[in-house]
A and B are shown apart, each in its own frame.
Chain A
Amino acid sequence: MKKIIAMLLLAALLLTGVSALAEGKTIVYWTMWESTEPQGQVIKEAVAAYEAESGNTVDLQFKGRTGMREGLQPALDAGTVIDLFDEDMDRVNVSWVDYLLDIEEMAKAANYEETANAGLIGAAREITGGTLKSIPYQPFVFAFFYNIDIFNEAGIEAPPATWDELLEACEKIKAAGYVPITSDDAYIITNLGYHMARLIGEEGVRRVVDNGEWAEEPAVLKAAEAYADLAEKGYLSPTIASSVWPTNQNGEFAMGESAIYLNGSWLPNEVKEMTGPDFNWGCFSYPAVEGGIHGVEAANFGSQVLAINKDSQVAQEAFDLIVKLTKGEFDAKLSIESVGIPADANNTEWPAMLASAKSVMDNLSVRYSWAAGIENNINMTAYIKQAFQQLCGGQLSPEQFVETLENASN
């Protein structure tokens, strides 16, 4: 009897071993997307294709943005097996840098950079002190998106490249019966960040925000005067001071009542159900301002990135999966389905809705971080937002705006 039991156990062990070999390795992948989002859908397809080709298994877990931001690091600290994860480029390479595997050699061996976006790879490498620890995908650019049909109807021949040209365009749009510029509470502060960065660069913006130099830095008043001027001339949405995202994005802009909205290149995807396929998308970089140090060549651009846990036992397999996700067929599919920018340089065709963003992206040489640093001080963002909304709504003068923020920072 004992012999029979021993034989059975041995057979079971052998079977388990054989099946494990047959199943290959398992890669645990935590993603920031939801399974219902276009990105999630394409990732699912790419994972299925990878599994079929490699014989490996991917434990794909859709965590969403909040799940990643709240849960990834505690899970890693608790020893949860997570081989691969993705999130925003800055968050991964700054907040979670201690958990990242250096993938420089793997990228070299795969000749990865030959067909990668050099600017984004450079940005990812720069954040981690010159070593590649993440692979960018789903690139984005933050710029003024506009409704080409409204521009055409207003007789605007070319998108504005300078502030004066923007004022001219706004006048024509207003005359044509549209609201020239709109925004929501979630993004309105980026207008101020960009304007100040045009004048004094991102370093200057960070200095003002971090050190509370609102009254000391003349660029603050200049930027405030520029937006007070827009408000006074009626170029800003009458509800700009109270609009809670996505009210104006979905209402005024997507419905074709307003012409211009400063936002990321994810905007067409977010509103495509409202705009329909006939919406003519345009994009132009934040215009150069008089006496500024940056022009249309500077903007916030970035991407999501994929990174491998330094303790992963399946690092090479995880890297192969990254290649599957970010090159060729599935990068193109991700771009089409999510109306996003492709990461693979060989995928030269951008979605039609983002065609005009390509020229903006191609002309960028200076990278700002998010909102050019205007949200760099967690204790000031709410004050800046409220004061700027009131400035745009005509409730604060430029001088009062500066005074309000100077007082708030003390």
Chain B
Amino acid sequence: MKLNRTMVVVFLTPALLLFFAIFVYPIARTVVMSLFSVENVTSSMNEWTFTGLKNYRDLVQTSLFRQSMWNIFRIWLVGGLVVMSFALLFAVILNSGIRFKRFFRAVIYLPNIISAVALATMWLQYVYAPRWGFLTNLFSWLGLEGLAATQWTAAGNKFWALTFAYCFGMVGYHMLIFSSGIEKIPHEFYEASSIDGASKPRQFTQITLPLLKGVIKTNITMWTITSVGFFVWSQLFSTVTTDLDTITPMVYLYLQVFSTGNTVMTREAGLGAAVGVTLGLCVVLIFVLTNLFIRDDELEY
């Protein structure tokens, strides 16, 4: 078929223009902005002052930002391991031929359709409440007074309380992605291996896992992107002032760009842009590492 260049241009131009306006321009502007001292995101460029890599140096030297990066790294790694493990476990169980599969899948996915605000409030005001919370009552009932007296949202505990609550809501989402991958694996593979005498665990390690490499990569990438954007839960676990246990880079960025705390401070949109670029680089790095270590075998089935 003869290529009609005019038609290609006509059909591609609007899409390309939108792509540049909505994606390329903001990214480029943010990268450039991160090299300047800029008070406000909408400040015109003639108000910008070039400072080179100063914003990045300031970030590295700021212990609060380092703490926020440490928090997000732990949420990504520890939370990621927990969420992926449970998501994969539930996906495998749901696809093993159990009864009421659709019911259990809906139950596990349910937290995803509830507002994060409602979920976080439930965890804070009901589960973790120090005096009449669910955990306090449960451990008291079990006679574990030491655990019942634990203040789950005190310094040191609050980070884990937050991570646990967040992970609870994320399992269902990743379970669905795993589940869709498992459903694509032909049943004949399992039947053949069963005839050959393979146990269920062996089927999991020799068939399911290898054929889920692409899905695992997708899940890791999705988890990384949502982790990097960790914001709402952090805000809800420390409502008015920032907190060492809950601060994440996005919260730090928000504070710098909008100065939304009780005290009105100078805003630093340039510094916020540097945080944004740093987070973007983290996502790219993890994406590259994931591709490096988890290679698709290009199997056809």
- A residues engaging B (CB < 8 A)? 66, 69-70, 73-74, 77-78, 88, 90-91, 94-95, 185-187, 189, 239, 241-245, 247, 251, 369-371, 373, 375-376, 378-383, 385-386, 389-390, 393, 395, 408
Contact = CB atoms under 8 A, between A and B. Distances in A.
B180 to A, nearest CB: 36
A247 B258 contact: no
B155 A390 contact: yes
B132 to A, nearest CB: 8
Nearest to A69: B260
B37 interface: no
A381 B261 contact: yes
Contacts of B263: 90, 369-371, 373, 375-376
Contacts of A91: 264
Tell me what chain A mostly uses at the interface: helix, strand, loop, or mixed.
helix
A223 to B, nearest CB: 18
A247 B130 contact: yes
A383 B245 CA distance: 10
Nearest to A384: B241
A390 B260 CA distance: 25
Given A77-B42, A389-B154, A408 B243 contact: no
A381 to B, nearest CB: 6
Nearest to A78: B42
B282 to A, nearest CB: 21
Interface of B: 40-43, 62-65, 67, 124-125, 129-131, 151-155, 157-158, 237-245, 247, 255-256, 258-265, 267
Contacts of A90: 263-264
A389 B155 contact: yes
Contact of A241 (B41, B62, B154): B154
A379 B62 contact: yes
Contact of A185 (B64, B152, B238, B262): B238
B65 to A, nearest CB: 8
B220 to A, nearest CB: 30
Contacts of B262: 370-371, 375
B153 A244 contact: yes
Contacts of B155: 241-242, 386, 389-390, 395
B166 to A, nearest CB: 15
15 contacts: A95-B264, A187-B240, A189-B241, A242-B151, A242-B158, A247-B125, A247-B129, A373-B263, A379-B62, A380-B64, A382-B242, A383-B244, A385-B244, A386-B244, A389-B155
Contacts of B152: 242
Contacts of A378: 64, 255-256, 259, 261, 265
A385 B63 contact: no
A385 B255 contact: no
